[in-house]
Structure 1
Amino acid sequence: MGAEQLFEQLWGDFCERLCPSSHTIHELLKQDQALINDHIALRTFGVDPVSLPTLAKPFIELGYEKGGDYVFESKKLIAEHYQHPDPKMPKVFISQLQLHLCSNELRNVVLKLVDQIDADKLSGSDFLHQGRLWDLSYGEYQILASESEYAAWVAAHGYGANHFTVSVNQLAEYEEVAEVNGFLKQKGFAINSSGGEVKGSPKVLLEQSSTMADKVDVAFSDAVHSIPGGFYEFAKRYQDNQGELYHGFVAASADKIFESTNN
């Protein structure tokens, strides 16, 4: 399977399961042009067999190469991004929760979930868009959410892109991230305001914004509850000293983007 096909499958899962409003936003911004996807983001727990390298492996097999490391101390996360030699291919941002920094209570719940995984299901790339690989009660979800919104999100949704990202550089109608925000607010969408609606600046070569995550119904082992799902991001990249568009990420901005899935 090629990279394009994998991203199509990730997009289908994202639209259907995690962020139904993405269809509407996509059509609003598309006008008469195809949108360029700047990057997707994936989340996981920092424990085998689902640690970060497991999620990166299918992309590496498709020609992706590691591009950078990131640390988010307050959220107890680390991340890496991967990029393809073809600059038109989306970048992939993969983060993981550092379990050894979390409470025993959180760690025990996560290890109980991970123990349920059939490792055979992690071969290939299909697991990246197939959701949860374990049973989870709503009580367990609440235990995780009280300490880490990130842990609760991964536990509830499993594997799938938590966001896709429109490249603002490619839009015909809008040149600035703030303009995209204003347009979507007029259409009734909530924009993540943590750290300001526009995160980053031309000085750090990247500006980003995002919607707040859709609320989606999730079936827990004991009931169905509506919780934050996926969101849509918007990114504008600036040229570096070599005249090339910056291809990395800015940790301070990404830290606030994570909060798009806060309850």
Structure 2
Amino acid sequence: MDKNQLLTKLWEQYIEITPSALKIHELLEEKGEEILNDHIAIRTFNDKRVNIEVLEKAFINVGYEAKGEYYFETKKLYAKHYENALDKNAPRIFISELELEKCSAELQEKVQQLLDNCDQNVFNDPNLVLSGAVWKGNSQAVYKSLLEESEYAAWMYVYGFRANHFTINTNALKGFKTLEELNNFLEASGWELNASGGKIKGTPEQLLEQSSTLADLYDVDFEEGTLKVPSCYYEFALRYPMSNGELYQGFVASSADKIFESTDVKLQKTI
């Protein structure tokens, strides 16, 4: 699988459970915009079978290289971002993992059981990043138990290995000079934005501004019945030039921390 096939498959899986992203994408195209992706985000656990080192292989195989690393102490996350050495226009890849050893014994045990009960051969699949939930994640009780401690873990339980969000490169848009202009257009079009930490996270001084929609609510069939669970969201990023005139390529941990909350049940008006 080459780079374009991998990225296309990630997009197809993403819009399947995030129809709002496709609608926003099409809405902007109708205004004459050509949509470029700033970055694609992936979630995982730091278990050696599925950690960042495992998931990054799919991207390294198609020309990506590790660049920056980030820590989110409150959410107990570690992340790395990757850039494609062969194609400067390719979206960055952002992979985060839940640091299980910092979580409760109960959460660690649940994740361990999930992974132990899988066919272990599935973790050797070079395209694991496209595999979704390879475990049996159909218990509403387990979902809600994980949710009490970690929204991130609960999301992983339901959705597994897939793109958590895509991000529009706002710099490449012709009709919007600022992120605020884009946000205003989206809200006027009926989309609700993540207001945690402000609708715009980051500042020009930090060289990166970010905003995002709230995650779609997707009907998940648990053994106890169907429940609407936040799936994925669409992000928007505006980058500023560094002192050398080149656009900043990294991420701001404090901003990403709030962007993560776009899938948080607590931000949703209807569950």
Tell me, yes or no, whether TM beats 0.5: yes
Task: Give the aligned partner of residue 142 of structure 1.
Answer: 144
Task: Give the aligned partner of residue 268 of structure 2.
Answer: none
Task: Give the aligned partner of residue 121 of structure 1.
Answer: 122
Q: 1:13-28 residue pairs with structure 2 within 5 A?
A: 13-17=13-17, 19-28=18-27
- Distance in 2 (alpha carbons) for counterparts of 1:100 and 1:134: 21
5+ long unaligned stretches in structure 2: 266-271
Question: After superposition, what is the alpha-carbon deviation per residue over 1:56-85, rounded to whole angstroms, capped at 9, x for unaligned?
Answer: 111011111111110000001010001112
Matched residue SS, 1:96: strand
What TM-score do you get using the length of structure 1 for normalisation? 0.96
The question of whether the paired residues in 2 share the 8 Å contact of 1:144 and 1:151 is answered with: yes
AA at the equivalent of 1:10: L
The question of whether the paired residues in 2 share the 8 Å contact of 1:82 and 1:92 is answered with: yes
What TM-score do you get using the length of structure 2 for normalisation? 0.94
The question of whether the paired residues in 1 share the 8 Å contact of 2:58 and 2:127 is answered with: no
Give the count of matched residue pairs.
262
Task: Kindly indicate whether residue 265 of structure 2 is the aligned counterpart of residue 245 of structure 1.
Answer: no
Task: Give the aligned partner of residue 181 of structure 2.
Answer: 179
- Distance in 2 (alpha carbons) for counterparts of 1:62 and 1:221: 39
Question: After superposition, what is the alpha-carbon deviation per residue over 1:144-185, rounded to whole angstroms, capped at 9, x for unaligned?
Answer: 000010110011111111100000000111111111111111
- Distance in 2 (alpha carbons) for counterparts of 1:170 and 1:121: 38
Task: Give the aligned partner of residue 37 of structure 1.
Answer: 37
AA at the equivalent of 1:262: D
The question of whether the paired residues in 1 share the 8 Å contact of 2:43 and 2:164 is answered with: yes
AA at the equivalent of 2:4: E
- Distance in 2 (alpha carbons) for counterparts of 1:88 and 1:247: 12
The question of whether the paired residues in 2 share the 8 Å contact of 1:237 and 1:246 is answered with: yes
AA at the equivalent of 1:4: N
Task: Kindly indicate whether residue 55 of structure 2 is the aligned counterpart of residue 63 of structure 1.
Answer: no
Give the CA RMSD over aligned residues: 1.2
The question of whether the paired residues in 1 share the 8 Å contact of 2:34 and 2:173 is answered with: no
Instruction: Give the deviation of 1:234 after TM superposition.
Output: 0.2
- Distance in 2 (alpha carbons) for counterparts of 1:252 and 1:120: 37
The question of whether the paired residues in 2 share the 8 Å contact of 1:58 and 1:124 is answered with: no
Instruction: Give the deviation of 1:48 after TM superposition.
Output: 2.2
